[in-house]
Structure 1
Amino acid sequence: MTTSDSGMPLVLMYHSVDRYSADPYRITVRPDRFDQQMRWLWRHGLRGVSMRQLLAAHRRGAAAGLVGLTFDDGYADFLDHVTRTLSWYGFTGTVFAVAGRLGGVNEWDPDGPRKKLMDAKALRTIVTLGNEVGSHGMLHTRLPAAGDSKVRAEIERSRTILESITEAPVTGFCYPYGAVDGQTITAVRDAGYDYACAVAHSELDGRFAIPRTYVGDRDKNLRLTAKVLRHELATRRTRLELGVPG
């Protein structure tokens, strides 16, 4: 199985990788399942990379076989369970960190178990391991419902903080809850980001609203195959609607 250079690259969306007893939001994948999923990619000739790597390759027409790996919220278990698996397969990923809650917990999930978030030291560590850090805002705020000044603070201040911590450019943004509209896209673009990730496909699909494919703990080989094929079909349909060959 391969992914094409044409159309929108395949991007997988993860959150937490950890053992669990309760997971009402279905954001957690057990470490052994995550390893199986990465092995499935590797066996099918696919390589997981950060968004920065994926988009750079896409610009060159060299993204075939590459899959973006993203991890929303910046959970501490990324350092505990993800980095070793990614290194084993020669993969990298992008962590979208909530800049105003580093070292805290996921307070925005009222009904879910509390999960610890990476602190500044952990973010610096994952960057040294070849991973990318992007912004998920300051406080995990639903941006289309916020005022203009709050949107700017969420987008611009978070980037400043994360760049200061990692001493590396922060070029990617991820919309909390996947909530995005045209005005929010304009704000992200005007702030100087290179790309932004959404969740589902929509009429806003593009470099500043990149759709992603959710991956959960129940996703084994057949479900992964179906999700990759569904992405390819959606991309092909979009290109046909736009009259783009390929």
Structure 2
Amino acid sequence: MAASAATAASVPAADAPAGAGARTASVPWVAMYHSVDDCRDDPYGVTVTPARLDAQLGWLRRRGLRGVSVAELLAARARGTARGLVGLTFDDGYADFTEHALPLLRRWGCGATLYVLAGRLGGDNAWDELGPRKPLLTADGVRRAAAEGVEIGSHGLTHTDLTRAGDRALRAETAASRNRLTELTGTAVTGFCYPYGRVDARAVDAVRAAGYGYACAVDPGPLTGPYALPRVHIGQRDTAVRLLLKTRLHRLRRRPAAGV
């Protein structure tokens, strides 16, 4: 399910009356994952084992929650029907997504958004100076994920920090990556994810101009809004107690800013 720009821009709360706007509502709860694999050599803390992901998805379902794509979450919020839904996102497009994450998402009846690097398909995580090289999905792998109902979003072309990119690179990382992925999947790409989670007003403007309906960051501060949605990092150490704390702290700390 793809969210339109108008739908994403409204971002009403899951528990607010229909028509309630983002000015008074809390932002959606969106979990941020990366790789699902052996995490013994994981200097950045971005890998969870399949067993840990299985336990985390099970925890969500036992609490009456269901993971969905960000596009589905935003569309449900716009309708006022998002109670019990949380966003699940996987950054970078690691090849282990289809091997390990996808079967677990199916097992627990969850959806997700996969943010891929349109210029590095079939490559590896060359931007990570430390840790092992991990293969990224090929074009066929991305198509397979899309065919399974996973929302495909853009993470740019090459994992470039948009806050440091020149004008030409900024257009390529946003508009060109969207065009490539739309052609690859045959479906309009409406979601963007800022590499490294770094975002400023100029990057937000570029993403909006490229035609995306929403964008995810990590902790965007005063820029929080439909083009800078905050997310909660979920890692290997996140057992039931930590997950509970993260869900509750999110409601207390995350508030949207108008006009973004």
**Mind listing any 5+ residue stretches in structure 1 that lack a counterpart?**
none
Report deviation, 1:165: 1.0
Contact map agreement 1:4 1:65 (CA 8 A) in 2: no
User: Which position in structure 2 is the counterpart of 1:109?
Assistant: 128
Report deviation, 1:7: 1.8
1:81 to 100, 108, 126: 100
Is 1:140 the counterpart of 2:159? The answer is yes
The 1-side partners of 2:209 and 2:184 are apart by 22
Contact map agreement 2:198 2:220 (CA 8 A) in 1: no
User: Which position in structure 2 is the counterpart of 1:54?
Assistant: 73
Cα distance per residue 1:154-208 (max 9 Å; x no partner):
1011111111111111100000001110011011101110000000140000000
Identity of aligned residues (%): 51
- The letter of the residue matching 1:120 is A
Q: TM-score, normalised by structure 2?
A: 0.89
1:192 to 200, 211, 215: 211
Q: TM-score, normalised by structure 1?
A: 0.93
Cα distance per residue 1:100-142 (max 9 Å; x no partner):
0000100000112111100100111111111100000000000
User: Which position in structure 2 is the counterpart of 1:32?
Assistant: 51
2:227 to 184, 200, 208: 208
The 1-side partners of 2:157 and 2:233 are apart by 23
Aligned-residue RMSD, C-alpha: 1.3
Report deviation, 1:152: 0.3
Count the aligned residue pairs.
237
The 2-side partners of 1:150 and 1:129 are apart by 32
Classify the secondary structure of the residue corresponding to 1:134.
strand
- The letter of the residue matching 1:168 is T
The 2-side partners of 1:83 and 1:175 are apart by 23
Classify the secondary structure of the residue corresponding to 2:229.
coil
**Bigger mean CA offset, 206-215 vs 16-25:** 16-25
**Mind listing any 5+ residue stretches in structure 2 that lack a counterpart?**
1-13, 17-24
Classify the secondary structure of the residue corresponding to 2:44.
coil
User: Which position in structure 2 is the counterpart of 1:100?
Assistant: 119
Is 1:181 the counterpart of 2:200? The answer is yes
